[in-house]
Chains A and B, each alone.
Chain A
Amino acid sequence: EVQLVESGGDLIQPGGSLRLSCAASGLNFNAYHMNWVRQAPGKGLEWVSYIGSGGNTWYADSVKGRFTISRDNAKRSLDLQMNSLRDDDTAVYYCARDQDYAFQDWGQGTLVAVSS
């Protein structure tokens, strides 16, 4: 059974930085592409970032230049370094496994609240 467990969410002031992590188990992690998807309180889903099994990365325009996605296959871990955080980055951040360009498996999410 695939398990994705996010951590690192917190209350942070605007302009601050935060690093999210996602621990994966139950899958051959290094073979899969991974994503971060977020959901602001009471709002819809928004794709944030992708990292391929080979390490290539893509970003939503809303986070490009501020967020960096990375992976450590040895540790089966996916990270999201978030800098220059803004109020509108407040959301639950989900780690999601990509298969066939769809988000096949999801973690439970971790809440990032940006507020002064």
Chain B
Amino acid sequence: QSALTQPASVSGSPGQSITISCGGTTSDIGSYFYNFVSWYQQHPGKVPKLMIYEVNKRPSGVSNRFSGSKSGNTASLTISGLQAEDEADYYCCSFEGTTFYWVFGGGTKVTVL
């Protein structure tokens, strides 16, 4: 149950787009059978919030500036039109369907310059 790999930090200026990568394996992100990658936003001292599920679906109420994708064993979260309120920690997560567990990435701190 190894953690997914995320960059420690990503930064961008207001209005720019940024992309956070999340590296996994063929057992989780790259699974042929499952597309259960999700992304969470967490502001300091706050509860995590689901931003993306099933690789690229947005829950009701989440801005369409947030989008997700997957290629091979790597998932990505893109934030377009970066805003000050987007400054937070972001975690990717994948379900592993062979031995049944979820694995998170180590988290990426997004800084709006």
Q: Which residues of A contact B (CB under 8 A)?
A: 35, 37, 44-47, 50, 58-62, 94, 99-104, 106-109
B53 contact set on A, CB distance < 8 A: 99-102, 104
Q: List 21 A-B contacts (CB under 8 A).
A: A44-B3, A44-B104, A45-B42, A45-B91, A46-B104, A47-B101, A47-B102, A50-B102, A59-B101, A61-B101, A99-B53, A101-B34, A101-B102, A102-B53, A102-B54, A103-B38, A103-B50, A104-B50, A104-B59, A106-B49, A108-B47
As a 0/1 sequence over residues 16 to 55 of chain B, the CB contacts with chain A under 8 angstroms (1 = contact) are 0000000000000000001010101010000111100110
Q: Which residues of B contact A (CB under 8 A)?
A: 1, 3, 34, 36, 38, 40, 42, 47-50, 53-54, 57, 59, 91, 93, 95, 100-107
Judge whether B36 and A60 touch: CB under 8 Å: no
Judge whether B100 and A58 touch: CB under 8 Å: yes
A44 contact set on B, CB distance < 8 A: 3, 91, 104-107
Judge whether A102 and B93 touch: CB under 8 Å: yes
B48 contact set on A, CB distance < 8 A: 37, 45, 94, 103, 106
B91 contact set on A, CB distance < 8 A: 44-45
| Docked complex Cα distance between A50 and B36 (Å) | 15
B93 contact set on A, CB distance < 8 A: 45, 47, 102-103
Judge whether B1 and A101 touch: CB under 8 Å: no
Smallest CB gap from B1: residue in A: A61
Say yes or no: A47-B103 contact (C-beta < 8 A), given A61-B1, A101-B95.
Answer: yes
Q: Could you say which of B38, B100, B107 contacts A102, with CB atoms under 8 Å apart?
A: B38
Judge whether A101 and B36 touch: CB under 8 Å: yes
| Docked complex Cα distance between A62 and B3 (Å) | 13
Smallest CB gap from B4: residue in A: A44
| Docked complex Cα distance between A45 and B106 (Å) | 7
| Docked complex Cα distance between A46 and B40 (Å) | 12
Judge whether B104 and A58 touch: CB under 8 Å: no
A-B pairs with lowest CB-CB distance, top 6: A102-B53, A101-B36, A102-B38, A47-B102, A44-B107, A101-B95
